[in-house]
Amino acid sequence: MSSLDFETVTKQEVARLEKLHPTPEDIPGCMGLFDAFLSCNVVGQQIKSLYRFGEMSACGGKLEEFKFCMSLKSMEADEKRDAWIRRRAEWWATRRMQKSSENVWDMRTEPLQNWPPSSHRISNHLTHSQLAMASHFHSVAIARSDMAHIDRSTLKQYPRIVTISRPGTTPMTRSISADEDFFERRNLRITCTIKHMRTDFRPQASEILPNLYLSDMYTATNPNVLRRLGITHVISVVETMWHAFPSDIVHLCLSIHDSPFSDMSYLFDPTVDWMQDAMDGNEHARVLVHCMLGMSRSASVVLAYLMASRGMSLVVALAHVKVRRIIVQPNAGFVKQLMWYERLLRDRERWKSSLR
């Protein structure tokens, strides 16, 4: 077979794949087809390289080497496809952020090491004109690397959203009630449905304490659930937040990737204080903690809160949570960080006892 034949077949194959799946701009709400489109583009490039290698191998008579290379290229295509699929949320977040950037006030604070031990109000680092301007925006963002303790007075001043995000990023301001998309909600529900050994664990909010709930993203972004449970505070432990909550809900977003190598130990104390202030300041407060599945990241935050506020050990806290939400399973890295936090809490108690 000549090189022209291989090139012709390659072009026809790539054209056929692109014809089957439209571009993401044609279907902005359907993430499933967007994944398929990206996958087909990646596979199309792999097909082209396979044909070129096949031409060289066939001329040299290396048929076995050609078959072996095809299997390797297939594995490489699968890896690239999975990488593209994992990046879909970031792609959509960037797309929406460009549309809603005018509704976001992005603020940078001083580095963490410059903050004194006591809590500070965000307003201390904004001029009067900036504060007046910030009142017209939907949210206030604090860089994750410049995280500071957020006290109750600050929450009253900024009742909408107080977000801790990665440096250089801004929180999403997409309304969970006014900008719904059927296909995206359906895909999100499928993503949040976990195959369990006994039965499928459907998206739901699990009551850990009378005023503390743990859930997945699909449930947390359902306005009917928030209204029925009387949620007043939401903690989102996700890498990129897609939705903005109603104005009467105080929102804290912790930008954490679900990986054993992610460090969230430095967030335990500020987050526990934030939750404690929310519950102490209002007896009717209801806090909802969620990540994508309500299994690892958000569960780690809830476990840290139980250990710090209720004096539970990690084993007791984990058993308490698993009884109420059977799928809870923090990854190995978060478990090690929780063990370190347990020792830290124990040392603090010993130090307090020695001062009495």
Token look-up 């299994």 returns 295
Q: Report the C-alpha gap between 314 and 280 in whole angstroms.
A: 24
Strand, helix or coil for residue 278: helix
Strand, helix or coil for residue 87: coil
Which bin fits 242, alpha (ψ -120 to 50), beta or left (φ > 0)?
alpha
Sign of CA dihedral 136, 282, 232, 140: positive
Q: Per the residue annotation, which of 30, 192, 253, 291 is the catalytic one?
A: 291
Burial class (CB within 10 angstroms; exposed 0-12, middle 13-18, buried 19+) of 162: buried
Which bin fits 168, alpha (ψ -120 to 50), beta or left (φ > 0)?
left
Is 291 tagged catalytic? yes
Task: Please give the angle made by the CA atoms of 189, 191 and 193, to the nearest 5 degrees.
Answer: 70
Active-site residue set = 291
